[in-house]
Structure 1
């Protein structure tokens, strides 16, 4: 620092020092501009720049793909300019301030030079932080692509000059981090969004009015890959089907009552023989008369695709398309039938999720107690899932909360939600009403 003090001994020598400090702060800001612009660049825009015709766009894309070296060059530039700005600027600013501070008539115990030095350090630090860090960062995060284009060429020159140092430092950093199992590559700077981050981004966009579609639909689409056949299937106890021993009249009665298009055909025990399509039955109905009518409808049974209960929905859709069928049998690891799933159920759950309570006291009335927790509103699913992490459906949560088979009239408050069982069979709840309540603590009131 004495060398710098020797340079800044007169009013004329202070000016070059201050100019040098401003230049150093500008270079510092340039590095900060680039660091945040490269990290904030959307991957879709990077791909577009890479395939574009502009030279600057290709340079920016190259810099984003080589973050290790360019971020290291930025950080090295920031460090060097910060140290140099303080080393050169503090004596010069102290010299400017020492005269006015000395004229204040401070007590002899307080050194004017010391006070001037402290104020000079604070002033340079504040200037460096505001104009060399905060302002460039804010601009880059809001206009990443434009900033990256403007500074691409000077950054390219700086990175080329500093390349030997950045390569050496990156190598040393990787060597130090390797024993800890940490990869210091590009992923440390530029990470893809995970499921939760994407869902959060969708919620923020919806709150800002930037989405033109139902945000629940987007959430479902994001989580589509992690859903399994078990999550959307109709459980075996709720499956409406026919038995292989049923007469034609019984089959027709079941079709009139349920008004479905496809009916699983059950055999003895847990056996599922296939499914009956109502169109096939209607097309042959005139022929299924007389003594052969009872056996004739069984010839119309189509094969049923079997899928594991843990199969992804993508896999289920692929198997259904490959087989030309619309319905699949869901089986467990032992081959026992767990339920059925069809294409319309999958698509309906994806593009038209159930409207469930999120705010306010208005209840959701007549909700199927067999609804899977993943199909519910996120906050509601989290509150109910805390009762029993092993439960998959509303009925499972209610049974766990009550410690017995749910009955019609049961009234529970769980995690700020009131759940009223309006319909139940001897073995499970069938329909429930759900509404939000003010109470946050879990409690229950059984009627």
Structure 2
């Protein structure tokens, strides 16, 4: 009798001890899950900033991010060990406690008691493992990635250090399997993002109220600069305001007054032999009464020259560095094809703005009848931004180029053409170039 009681008491003690071990394993499982998701969700730039500021925990977290593959393998090893331990310890202990309770409260056969106890114990252990050991720590780590990474980094790295040989061995085998299917394993989380990726992030931030509309537009335009060249932002050759080097100052002043331009290009012979430019301030500094006798060739300042495929963001930096506001754009043959100003580049960044040099209506204006009046030099991306309808892809770089391709001839004023997206009518010509068009959109954007 006494021996039976002692055996029963010993069994109860063993069950509760096993239950305590199971609780510890459940907590450790949650620790490894949280560490894994914290490293994956943390912003490396934020961790690097904190580490640079001297935060010791951030330095430890950064070391973990830099060997991410090994850390994740360590987390998986820890999770697997805890899960196996739970299955080995928790289920029998919980089942024994439940079976004991059922035996006291109900009169059941041993088989029924065992089946009920096993089912309830397994369900309870699986539920706690999923909720407490997996889902809860994952949600916490994702909600506070950098904070959780710094809190867990040191003990987690200690575990990885202890089991590093085993983890390295398993990780090496896993990498070999991955290479067999043609994928190269990465030791660090990829941090580089393409402009399209960043644009999606900006759209998502704006959609959730994290960015104001003006900030979203400015940042989006900044990203779009990466796809633009000097040729996209330039004033075309036929619109360049220029005078010959032997022209007098009063001729240059008249051009500045007529066009509103403060900088007039000075050429020698033709526009492919540019000497520089003359600024309106240079003319105003001349002594009174000398304009008619002073050639602008002697006043010309140096002008920047850039290839037509030069990236706009690089050109902006160069113009600011050299304190230049004007750059000639040349093609591969050395022919001047246009001129780009600092204003042109800045407008690509922040949008159009009006100043004393703008003397015409907007490049794209919606009229009262629902049609659009557009400039022939409008780029496809600008056309889409204004009308909401993209131009079909092709060799053309402007709306005029698209219309000429559709007509298959140089048009005249009044010519019309219908395409898959709209009806185009030529409103004005400048010699052989289309100056303006009326556009009636025929498809939905």
TM-score normalised to structure 2 length: 0.76
2:390 equivalent to 1:384: yes
Cα distance in 1 for residues equivalent to 2:135 and 2:257: 70
Cα distance in 2 for residues equivalent to 1:14 and 1:434: 83
**3-state DSSP class of the match of 1:242?**
strand
- 2:141 maps to 140
**3-state DSSP class of the match of 2:163?**
helix
2:47 equivalent to 1:46: yes
- 1:371 maps to 378
After superposition, the Cα gap between the structure-2 partners of 1:400 and 1:285, relative to the gap in structure 1 and judged at 3 Å, is farther
Q: CA deviation at 1:346?
A: 1.2
Q: Which moved more, 1:251-260 or 1:347-356?
A: 347-356
Q: CA deviation at 1:271?
A: 1.3
**3-state DSSP class of the match of 1:192?**
coil
Q: Contact 2:38/2:146 (CA < 8 Å) preserved in 1?
A: yes
Cα distance in 1 for residues equivalent to 2:346 and 2:260: 20
Q: Which residue of the other structure, out of 273, 278, 283, is the alignment partner of 2:285?
A: 283
- 2:325 maps to 326
Q: Contact 2:403/2:417 (CA < 8 Å) preserved in 1?
A: no
- 1:340 maps to 339
Equivalent residues in 2 for 1:92-171, closer than 5 Å = 92-93=93-94, 121-171=122-172
After superposition, the Cα gap between the structure-2 partners of 1:137 and 1:323, relative to the gap in structure 1 and judged at 3 Å, is same
Equivalent residues in 2 for 1:344-359, closer than 5 Å = 344-352=343-351
After superposition, the Cα gap between the structure-2 partners of 1:232 and 1:119, relative to the gap in structure 1 and judged at 3 Å, is farther
Cα distance in 2 for residues equivalent to 1:113 and 1:436: 76
Q: CA deviation at 1:327?
A: 1.0
Cα distance in 2 for residues equivalent to 1:241 and 1:306: 16
Q: Which runs of 5+ in 2 are unaligned?
A: 1-9, 354-361
Q: Contact 1:366/1:422 (CA < 8 Å) preserved in 2?
A: no
Q: Contact 1:216/1:353 (CA < 8 Å) preserved in 2?
A: no
CA deviation digits over 1:371-430, x for unaligned, max 9? 33455777978x525x01443334344545666667669697977xx7876843264544
- 2:428 maps to 424
Q: Which moved more, 1:201-210 or 1:235-244?
A: 235-244
After superposition, the Cα gap between the structure-2 partners of 1:114 and 1:183, relative to the gap in structure 1 and judged at 3 Å, is same
- 1:200 maps to 200
Computing the radius of gyration over CA atoms, which structure comes out larger, 1 or 2?
Answer: 2
2:74 equivalent to 1:73: yes
Cα distance in 1 for residues equivalent to 2:13 and 2:408: 87
Q: CA deviation at 1:81?
A: 1.8
- 1:444 maps to none
Q: CA deviation at 1:35?
A: 1.5
- 2:31 maps to 30
Cα distance in 1 for residues equivalent to 2:21 and 2:191: 37
Cα distance in 1 for residues equivalent to 2:426 and 2:215: 29
Q: CA deviation at 1:298?
A: 2.9
Cα distance in 1 for residues equivalent to 2:76 and 2:185: 15
- 2:357 maps to none
**3-state DSSP class of the match of 1:340?**
strand
Q: CA deviation at 1:218?
A: 0.9
Q: Which runs of 5+ in 1 are unaligned?
A: 1-8, 442-447
2:262 equivalent to 1:234: no
CA deviation digits over 1:197-238, x for unaligned, max 9? 222222222233333543111112234344321221222233
Cα distance in 2 for residues equivalent to 1:54 and 1:310: 45
Cα distance in 1 for residues equivalent to 2:255 and 2:298: 18
- 1:297 maps to 296
Equivalent residues in 2 for 1:306-321, closer than 5 Å = 306-321=305-320
CA deviation digits over 1:3-42, x for unaligned, max 9? xxxxxx9665544444433322221211121112122222
Cα distance in 1 for residues equivalent to 2:151 and 2:71: 16
After superposition, the Cα gap between the structure-2 partners of 1:241 and 1:130, relative to the gap in structure 1 and judged at 3 Å, is farther
After superposition, the Cα gap between the structure-2 partners of 1:135 and 1:431, relative to the gap in structure 1 and judged at 3 Å, is farther
Cα distance in 2 for residues equivalent to 1:126 and 1:404: 75
- 1:21 maps to 22
TM-score normalised to structure 1 length: 0.75
Cα distance in 1 for residues equivalent to 2:258 and 2:289: 23
Give the count of matched residue pairs.
418
